[in-house]
Amino acid sequence: KKKRKAAGAGGNAATEPWWKNFLVLAMGLWGFTVIFTKTMYEYEYNVLVSGVLSPAEMVALTGYLYAGAGFVSTGINLVGTQVCLEKLGMQGAILATPTALLSVSVAILLRPSISTTFAGRLVDLSLRWSLNNTVRTVLWIAVPPQQAAAAKPWVEGTIKKMGQAFNAVVITVMLLISGGRLYSLSFLSLAFCSMLFMCCIRVYSLYLNSMWTRIKRRELRHDDVEDLPFDTNIDRKVMERLRD
């Protein structure tokens, strides 16, 4: 049982396929839900903006959106990620994106408007290409190299593309059921953000277990762990387990 548990958390690259690694599967679900939420925000934003603004105003507003997202994501990449890891730890960094998306989804559900959907897209664009990607890069370190090489094209590529196709079907079905009302999409994005939050809670424990499994198998040395961008909480837990 212990061997099976270790394989599920960290995986043995020589014997276990990547789809039996729970951390990889959780990261796949993470990426899928982020893309789903992003598509919901885009659709709601486009519908609300097109109903109020002229084409020229829409272009200008969207330009401000991408400019603002670029500015915020640059700040997060330069300072925010490091501060987040130092102050909140790896667990806080993992939960930062789903918490932000969950908060915006609640705001959109309670008050669907151009301002709330603009905020949703701003949060998504700013975090998805900064903190979210950085955290996922660190998580891949916990996956054995052979598994990571085989899984990345699926998790970072195929699953996200499947998510886009799934989104198109879901939007069509939900709008037909609700008679074209946006609240159904807002409720759905909130549900997926809640699922993402629960998934990321599990990701942190899988990450710790996987890192410990790799250290235990001498796939990673503690000196290597100290050189990685981990927070002090992870270093402390690794040291405690090493002493045990």
pLDDT for the residue 6: 43
Q: From residue 101, how far is each of 33, 112, 181, 194 by CA, in Å?
A: 11, 15, 21, 9
Q: From residue 52, how far is each of 1, 55, 124 by CA, in Å?
A: 60, 10, 23
- Nearest residue to 118 via CA among 182, 63, 167: 63
* Cα–Cα distance measured from residue 198 to residue 124, given in angstroms and rounded to the nearest whole number: 18
pLDDT for the residue 4: 46
Per-residue pLDDT of the chain (244 residues; tens, 9 = 90+): 444 444 444 444 446 899 999 999 999 999 999 999 999 999 999 999 999 999 999 999 999 999 999 999 999 999 998 888 888 888 899 999 999 999 999 999 999 999 999 999 999 999 998 999 999 988 998 898 889 999 999 998 888 888 878 888 988 898 888 887 888 899 999 999 999 999 999 999 999 888 878 777 777 655 555 545 555 555 565 555 555 5
User: How many Cβ atoms are within 10 Å of 175's Cβ, its own excluded?
Assistant: 16
Reduce the secondary structure of the chain to three states and give it as a string. Answer: CHHHHHHHHCCCCCCCCHHHCHHHHHHHHHHHHHHHHHHHHHHHHHHHHHCCCCHHHHHHHHHHHHHHHHHHHHHHHHHHHHHHHHHHHHHHHHHHHHHHHHHHHHHHHHCCCHHHHHHHHHHHHHHHCCHHHHHHHHHHHCCCHHHHHHHHHHHHHHHHHHHHHHHHHHHHHHHHHHCCCCHHHHHHHHHHHHHHHHHHHHHHHHHHHHHHHHHHCCCCCHHHHHHCCCCHHHHHHHHHHHHC
Structure tokens at 59: 């272009």
pLDDT for the residue 181: 84
pLDDT for the residue 1: 45
